[in-house]
Amino acid sequence: MRLRSFALLLFVLVAVPTFALPPNLIVGGSFDTPEDLQKWRITSNKAFLGWVGLDSQSRPASGSATVFGSLGGYRSQCVEVTPGREYDYGARLMVTHGARKFAGDGTQAYVRITFWGDSLCRYGVPVGEAQTEAVAGPTGRFVAVSAHAQTPEDARGAYLTLISVVANAPAASAAPTLFDDVFLQERGGCVPDEVTLCLAGGSLSASATYFDASGSAHQAQVVHLSTTSGYFFTDSPDDAELTIKTDGAKSFVIGGMTNLGLRITVKDWTTGQEKRYVNESPHFLSPIVDAFSAQ
């Protein structure tokens, strides 16, 4: 681990009035029980689909959906959308190691959105399509994938599909992909990805920029540990540089074992308020304990 220290300078920006977070339009996307699978359509007969009690955010009473197949394992859900609006969509997924010849190395997993002209996604033909970046396996841990798309003016429904593709592999030999925390929401809330932590039910987000020896800026990547905590890393996900933990609401603590120069941003999406912390090398990180004010 690289250890460099830094001093702390805090900036608090002016808050804006409270507003509601956009609701997740997906039903059963957290896969708390196997019954949640019934809320999804099976759209491929070349896939094996199921449920496992392993949750992406370490919730003991929840789990995730398993998707695997030879030409693509599909599980889909249709929701009604508004024409012309922008939507964020995505999931947390983990491509596992298989026990047979095809051990996940050839797996590509992603989330696809397909827009339809009717709200049931059944009639006519699709009028638009997009997808998140594909994740190659095996990943060894859950990673967040997300993207955004604008609804075409002639669309009324959106079909969100969980896809795991293993080229040239018998379906029974493929390693499963685990999907969890699937979402589709109008733009305006926290969206998790490889550099953004979404905490406290999506009401808070955290990101960090670090500076190398030449002063060049880089986005630190994230590992989400639970609904209230996660950490940032620079070189390896096995080597945490700094962590953040919330109380599930407005308060949070940031700490670390690094002397890299950092710029940390924490945002409250229910108010638009941001707190920024600039840390200069070579002073050691001091713990940051802070909270957003109630609106």
Walk me through the domains of the chain, giving residue ranges and CATH numbers: 7-20+191-291 (no CATH), 34-186 (2.60.120.260)
Work out whether strand 221-224 and strand 251-256 pair parallel, antiparallel, or are unpaired.
unpaired
**What is the Cα–Cα distance from 69 to 71, expressed in whole angstroms?**
6
Alpha helix (H) residue ranges in the chain = none
Of 20, 21, 13, the residue nearest 202 (C-alpha): 21
Give per-residue pLDDT as tens, 43-73.
666 566 789 999 999 999 999 999 875 454 4
pLDDT of res. 181: 96
CA separation, residue 283 to residues 137, 219, 240, 252 (Å): 39, 20, 18, 22
Residue 201 has pLDDT above 80, yes or no: yes
In this prediction, residues 88-104 reach a mean pLDDT of 75
In this prediction, residues 104-118 reach a mean pLDDT of 86
Residue 15 has pLDDT above 50, yes or no: no
pLDDT of res. 285: 85
pLDDT of res. 266: 97
pLDDT of res. 126: 93
Phi-psi region of 177 (alpha: psi -120 to 50; beta: other; left: phi over 0): beta
pLDDT of res. 5: 38
Residue 80 has pLDDT above 90, yes or no: yes
pLDDT of res. 276: 95
Helices (H) and strands (E) in the chain, counts: 0, 22
CB atoms within 10 A of CB 264: 24
pLDDT of res. 2: 46
In this prediction, residues 28-47 reach a mean pLDDT of 85
Confirm whether pTM is higher than 0.85.
Answer: yes
Question: Is 35 within 8 Å of 27 (Cβ atoms)?
Answer: no
Question: Is 51 within 8 Å of 37 (Cβ atoms)?
Answer: yes
Q: How confident is the model at residue 284 (pLDDT cuts 50, 70, 90)?
A: confident
Identify which has the larger pLDDT, 215 or 276. 276
pLDDT of res. 168: 59
Q: How confident is the model at residue 170 (pLDDT cuts 50, 70, 90)?
A: low
Question: Is 80 within 8 Å of 157 (Cβ atoms)?
Answer: yes
pLDDT of res. 255: 94
Give per-residue pLDDT as tens, 232-282.
999 999 999 999 999 988 999 999 989 999 999 999 999 999 999 988 888
- In sequence order, the β-bridge partners of residue 223 are 231
* pLDDT over 70 percentage in the chain: 84
In this prediction, residues 185-193 reach a mean pLDDT of 94
Please report the DSSP string for 30-53 in residue order: T--SGGGGGGSEE--TTEEEEEES
Question: CA 106: distance to chain centroid?
Answer: 22
Give per-residue pLDDT as tens, 125-161.
899 999 999 998 788 899 999 999 999 999 999 999 9
pLDDT of res. 139: 87
Residue 100 has pLDDT above 50, yes or no: no
